[in-house]
Amino acid sequence: MIRSIIVAISENNGIGKDNDLLWYLPSDMKFFRKTTLGHCVITGRKNYESIPEKYRPLAKRTNIIVTRNANYKADGAVVKNSLEEALEFAKSENESEVFIIGGGQIYKEAMGKNVIDKMYITHVAKNYDADTFFPEIELSNWNIEGRFALESESFTAEVRVYEKK
Ligand SMILES: NC(=O)c1ccc[n+]([C@@H]2O[C@H](COP(=O)([O-])OP(=O)(O)OC[C@H]3O[C@@H](n4cnc5c(N)ncnc54)[C@H](OP(=O)(O)O)[C@@H]3O)[C@@H](O)[C@H]2O)c1
């Protein structure tokens, strides 16, 4: 099972503020949907609750929520009490590629524990006032497997797909 991260990052490494995204980027949302469709997605409890109710659980994906709350329930989603348990569950579903979809705490844990094989990063070429950040990454440990610009009127953004060396 390939363990992937998918994230959009500003130039100053920001990913969110006030439990919301920093931008409205439909082309990136489309890319996110297309890439994750049919797969297990692992989300921190806060990120999950930041998704507008009508869009959660994310359709046509197995949503796995990570929380320390043993009693947490969310209709149509799987709840696990650690990142490891969430990854194990995805594996038990015979998943070929699992996507960690945020937020900051879950990305930090996944990167810190060195469990990620692949990263789909949308680099947004602008600084943002943020309160949640993606951890610093040592890019020399990663090969760029593909890159393309996102079409957008108000943003310059490039998707780069990184694979662990
Ligand atoms: N730019 C992007 O691509 C992107 C993507 C996703 C999210 N975001 C942004 O990121 C922000 C949310 O991130 P966040 O860091 O505040 O929260 P988060 O990572 O989404 O969720 C944090 C929660 O996850 C649970 N958790 C964390 N570590 C755990 C562990 N080791 N074991 C069990 N449960 C654990 C805890 O839930 P409990 O408190 O319930 O125990 C914790 O409060 C929002 O602003 C969102 O918009 C941005």
Q: Tens digits of per-residue pLDDT, 111-157?
A: 999 999 999 999 999 999 999 999 999 989 999 999 999 977 677 89
Q: Domains in the chain: how many in total?
A: 1
Averaged pLDDT score across all residues of the chain: 96
Residue 137's domain comprises 2-164
Give the phi and the psi of residue 88 in degrees, each rounded to 5. -60, -40
Q: State pLDDT tens for residues 28-66.
A: 999 999 999 999 999 999 999 999 999 999 999 999 999
- Residue 106 alpha carbon, nearest atom of ligand 1: 19
Ligand 1 within 6 A of CB of 132: yes
What separation in angstroms does the CA of 98 have from each of 1, 5, 38, 39, 67? 7, 8, 10, 6, 18
Cβ of 84 less than 6 Å from ligand 1: no
CATH number at residue 106: 3.40.430.10
